[in-house]
Amino acid sequence: MEHPLFIYNTLTRKKENFVPLNPPFAGLYVCGPTVYGDPHLGHARPAITFDVLFRYLQHLGYRVRYVRNITDVGHLENDADEGEDKIQKKARLEELEPMEIVQYYTDRYHEFMDMIGVRRPSIEPRASGHIIEQLDMIDKIIKNGFAYEVNGSIYFDVEKYHKKFNYGKLSGRVLEDLYNNTRDLDGQGEKKKSFDFALWKKALPTHIMRWPSKWGQGFPGWHLECSVMSTKYLGETFDIHGGGMDLLFPHHECEIAQSVAANGQESVKYWMHNNMITINGQKMGKSLGNFITLEELFTGKHKLLEQAYAPMTIRFFILQAHYRSTLDFSNEALKAAEKGLIKLMEVCKQFDKIQPESKSTIDVKKIESELYVSINDDLNTASLIATIFENSKLVNRLVAKEDSISAEDLGTFKNLIHTFVFDVLGLAEASSAGTSSEALKVAVELLLQERVEAKKRKDFAACDRIRDRLAEAGILVKDTKEGFEWSLK
């Protein structure tokens, strides 16, 4: 590889050359959604970030197994409902079976991820489908002496673990600080230390989501599923583990501890974390109540939204920032992304208008190199997009015959841009937000054809009348050299 791929490893805080453990295979595990609510903008970021990684690794020729879990067991809540499962709580409110909720939101998640061009992972395991494996791992951890039982619950003994290994290596936490700074929370009493975490929780009588175990009825702790399912499908050690930065601590720290405690070795070679999406500078989060669902984004029905945005606009918006930077939401930024994407799509189409010449005055090799340098620099999609835009001028010059290109170079150039835009970045034409029915299409095009005729007769009054009336109805007309284009506003 002429330009090797570098990715930022949270574990070492450095950009590292990506070298898979077992080439040509590459293993990727990403923390997926907890399916108890509609997918929102915050879900889109990791999904898209790691989708690009998935696509790019495949582009590089790796045989990638991408595992992204569905958390359907639910996490323990620490509020007044003492120990009530999130999914269970929602279920009670809506009077549905917990699994019904899980199914519904899983489907919703898939539906919206499909819309923003996120490819389905190779395996999408559910926590509820891996209870046996989770119990097995708990056994291993107990056997190795890093967990203890209290009243039918099993806790991970962080202090004991830390004597032998390093708890806090990923997040940079110091155990002593943690001890001094952990707040008093519900159920702390059972644990030896406040920073110990549950591997298995005894189910209260009201708890519906429960499974039998040798310690009685209960449910798995909230970090366990990822350790278990990544091990099961990718092996005790695998290449890349990704997720949101908010999962860094405690979730991923605990995952490391669990895997090491059970298997005696590090599980992950490269840890990758995407940054948050902010709204007015503040994190968009479920608990903050300031999140915007993807459905709201696509329909424009949210008090912060000035208009609807196409799914591809959202993808482009996210890709225009580097994944490790926070990305601030605003209508202005989204509108800019909308136009930028249109322009990018336009550039891709321009290739077909280029007439090849006998020789090239442009350096396609150099362009290729620039593109790879961008993406290989820790998946810098922002820089990659910028590079493509820079070359858009060149494309237009070629169309205008101000530069020339050989047939061979043209093929390479077009393939290069198209590969990056469509295959790697996974972008596509933003389908006009409102779905136009076939009948509408026929009617509008009939009218516009009439308008073309009127124009030929130089009956501009009729021309303008048609255009104005359509505009009033929300249909935007644009004249092109070939004829016309229209879109729903």
Task: Kindly identify the residues of this chain, within the stretch 130-189, that bind RNA according to CB under 7 A.
Answer: 171-174, 177-178, 181-183, 185
Residue list 284-323, contact with RNA (CB under 7 A) = 284-287, 291, 320-322
Minimum distance of RNA from residue 63's CB (angstroms): 26
Residue list 325-344, contact with RNA (CB under 7 A) = 325-328, 330, 332-333, 335-337, 339-340, 342-343
Number of residues located near RNA, criterion CB under 7 A = 92
Give the burial class of 273: count Cβ atoms within 10 A of its Cβ; 0-12 exposed, 13-18 middle, 19 or more buried.
Answer: buried
Contact 258/225 with Cβ under 8 angstroms? Answer: no
Residue list 447-476, contact with RNA (CB under 7 A) = 455, 460, 463-464, 467, 476
- 90-123 b/e with 16+ CB inside 10 Å = b? bbeeeeeebbebbeebbebbeebbebbbbeebee
Is the Cβ of residue 141 or residue 318 nearer to RNA in the bound state? 318
Residue list 357-396, contact with RNA (CB under 7 A) = 377-378, 380, 382-383, 385-387, 389-390, 392-393, 396
Minimum distance of RNA from residue 22's CB (angstroms): 27
Is the Cβ of residue 125 or residue 243 nearer to RNA in the bound state? 243
Give every strand in the sheet of 268-274, ordered side by side.
63-68, 25-30, 238-244, 268-274
Out of 218, 220, 243, 426, name the contact with RNA by CB under 7 A: 243
Is the Cβ of residue 123 or residue 248 nearer to RNA in the bound state? 248
CA distance 27 to 20: 8
- A 10 A CB-CB count for 64 gives 22
Minimum distance of RNA from residue 59's CB (angstroms): 20
CA distance 259 to 262: 5
Out of 246, 266, 357, 429, name the contact with RNA by CB under 7 A: 246
Residue list 59-118, contact with RNA (CB under 7 A) = 71, 75-78, 86
Helix (H), strand (E) counts: the chain: 16, 15
The strand pair at 6-9 and 14-17 is best described as antiparallel
Minimum distance of RNA from residue 345's CB (angstroms): 10
Residue list 178-237, contact with RNA (CB under 7 A) = 178, 181-183, 185, 194, 222
- The residues that bridge with 149 in the sheet, in sequence order, are 154
Q: Quote the tokens at residue 246.
A: 């908010």
Contact 230/241 with Cβ under 8 angstroms? Answer: yes
Is the Cβ of residue 20 or residue 41 nearer to RNA in the bound state? 41
